[in-house]
Amino acid sequence: MDKPQTGLIRRTFAVPMLAVRDAAGALEFYGKAFGARETVRLQDPAGVVQHAEIVIEGAPIMLAEESPEHNRSPETLGGSSVIIQLEVADADALIAQAVAAGAELATPGGRPVLRTAHRQNPGPVRPCLDAVHSD
């Protein structure tokens, strides 16, 4: 392990890559619900999002349209074991913003956990975001 210089913390981190159906719709929803800022969008000639990158309060997330050759969405797999946890300064405000944009609050009055979808999916499979206070 490399020894950090005095006063600096050296970290390795992972960036989640989400495979979704309707990536363009997901990007729009994440912008409204979580204030996600889109930094990269690569589309094929038909307009299908092949790769995109967003940032939510400094946290990067990548996503792409589901593609049988490269990835599978939770809908195709029948569920997901992934929860993206964001540590934010004001989790209550982020949750209120997400609910106003159409997210479903999974635990009202309890730990602030959101079940979200980029559109109102009738099925049970939805990505999950856990917003917690950073203090």
Q: Looking at residue 31, what DSSP letter applies? A: H
Does 65 or 110 have the greater pLDDT score?
65
In terms of Cβ atoms closer than 10 Å to its own Cβ (0-12, 13-18, 19+), residue 15 is exposed
Q: Pick the closest to residue 93 from 121, 49, 133, 58 (CA basis).
A: 133
The set of residues, in sequence order, having a beta carbon less than 8 Å from that of 87 and lying 6+ positions away, is: 132, 133, 134
CB of 114 closer than 8 Å to CB of 128: yes
Q: For 48-94, write each residue's pLDDT tens digit.
A: 999 999 999 888 999 999 998 889 888 888 877 777 777 777 777 88
Q: For 28-43, write each residue's pLDDT tens digit.
A: 988 998 899 999 999 9
Look at residue 108 in the predicted model and tell me its pLDDT.
58
Q: Give the global pTM.
A: 0.75
Look at residue 13 in the predicted model and tell me its pLDDT.
81
Return the SS3 of 20: strand
The set of residues, in sequence order, having a beta carbon less than 8 Å from that of 26 and lying 6+ positions away, is: 18, 20, 63, 118
